[in-house]
Amino acid sequence: KAGVTQTPRYLIKTRGQQVTLSCSPISGHRSVSWYQQTPGQGLQFLFEYFSETQRNKGNFPGRFSGRQFSNSRSEMNVSTLELGDSALYLCASSLSGTSSYNEQFFGPGTRLTVL
Amino acid sequence: DAKTTQPNSMESNEEEPVHLPCNHSTISGTDYIHWYRQLPSQGPEYVIHGLTSNVNNRMASLAIAEDRKSSTLILHRATLRDAAVYYCIRREGNDMRFGAGTRLTVKP
C-alpha cells in the first residue's frame, strides 16, 4: 500500500509570491492534516480536513489556506509569502476524522524556501 | 499549547533500555496518549498509543501512570536507528499538538 505522497519535495519562491502544495493520502484515508515544521517553532498544526470540510484549524494567519477534494487529496496554499514561511510542510493522513486513537501517517514533507 | 512536558534531550547506550518520560498533568478522561518519533530528514512516524492501561507493540512499550498524569515510553533495547526526536502527544480527537519532544541520542 503506497504511503502519503507530497509534491513537490522542494520549492524555492521569493517574497510576495504564492505557493500551492499537494498531498495524496493513503488510499481509503479520509482525514488529511497539515503541519509546519521550523527549527524555532517545531511542529505546528495548520489545519485538518475530513470529507472536504475543514474541521480543525491551528493558529496561523489567513494567508494559509487549504482544501480537500472528493478523492481525499488535499492542497494547501500560502499567499504573499514571507521569509518566515520557509519551513518543512508535512501532510498526514488517517482513516477517519474523529477517533482519538487513529494513527496518523506522515508524508516526507515539502521543503519550502522563501528568498 | 502542547499540553505535555518532556525533557529536551536524553542519551542512551546501544542495546540498553531507554525510558522516555512525559508529563500530562491536565489530561482529561477521554484523551489518548500518543507517541511519535521523527528520524532525521523524515516525517514523524507513529510509535504507540494508550488510554489507561500499559501497552506493548513490536516497537516499544507504554507505561501510563494510574492517575494518567504521566507516562513513559520504553524502548527495550536501543539501537542506533532509534536516535530520533520522540514526541508525546495528548490527543483530543484528531487534534494533534506536538511539543518540542525529546531528542534521543544513542551511543555505540
Residue in A with minimal Cα distance to B1: A44
Q: What percent of chain A has pLDDT over 70?
A: 95
Tell me how far apart the alpha carbons of residues A75 and A69 are, in angstroms, rounded to a whole number: 8
The predicted structure's pLDDT at residue B35: 95
Tell me how far apart the alpha carbons of residues A115 and A113 are, in angstroms, rounded to a whole number: 6
- Best B41, B53, B57, B96 residue to mutate vs chain A (most A CBs within 10 Å): B96
Contact list, B46 vs chain A (CB under 8 Å): 103-105
Whether residue B2 has pLDDT greater than 80 = no
A16/chain B closest Cα distance in angstroms: 28
Residue keyed to cell 509534491: A7
Whether residue A83 has pLDDT greater than 90 = yes
Residue keyed to cell 531507554: B18
What confidence category does residue B104 fall into, taking pLDDT thresholds of 50, 70 and 90?
Answer: very high
The predicted structure's pLDDT at residue A97: 58
What would the mean pLDDT of A25-43 be, rounded to a whole number? 92
What would the mean pLDDT of B49-60 be, rounded to a whole number? 91
Contact list, A94 vs chain B (CB under 8 Å): 94
The predicted structure's pLDDT at residue A1: 64
What confidence category does residue B97 fall into, taking pLDDT thresholds of 50, 70 and 90?
Answer: confident
Residue in A with minimal Cα distance to B90: A100
Classify the C-alpha dihedral A94-B6-B37-A91 as positive or negative.
positive
The predicted structure's pLDDT at residue A100: 60
Tell me how far apart the alpha carbons of residues B39 and A106 are, in angstroms, rounded to a whole number: 12
Q: Return the HEC string of B17-77.
A: CEEEEEECCCCCCCCEEEEEEECCCCCCEEEEEECCCCEECCCCEEEECCCCCEEEEEECC
Cβ separation A90–B43 shorter than 8 A: yes
Residues 6+ positions from A13 with CB-CB distance below 8 Å: A19, A81, A112, A113, A114, A115
Whether residue B93 has pLDDT greater than 80 = no
| Chain B contact present for A104, CB below 8 A | yes
Contact status, residue B99 vs residue B87, Cβ threshold 8 Å: yes
Give the lowest-confidence range in A40-44, A63-67, B2-6, B36-40.
Answer: B2-6
**Environment class of A14 (CB within 10 Å of its CB; exposed 0-12, middle 13-18, buried 19+):** exposed
Whether residue A91 has pLDDT greater than 70 = yes
The predicted structure's pLDDT at residue B25: 86
Residues in chain B: 108
Contact list, B3 vs chain A (CB under 8 Å): none
Q: What percent of chain A has pLDDT over 90?
A: 78
What confidence category does residue B1 fall into, taking pLDDT thresholds of 50, 70 and 90?
Answer: low
Residue in B with minimal Cα distance to A5: B43
**Which B-chain residues 49-78 have CB contacts (< 8 A) with chain A?**
49, 51
Cell numbers that stand for B98 in this block: 506536538
Tell me how far apart the alpha carbons of residues A47 and A32 are, in angstroms, rounded to a whole number: 8
The predicted structure's pLDDT at residue A8: 97
Residue among B30, B45, B101 minimizing CB distance to A106: B45
Cβ separation A102–B42 shorter than 8 A: no
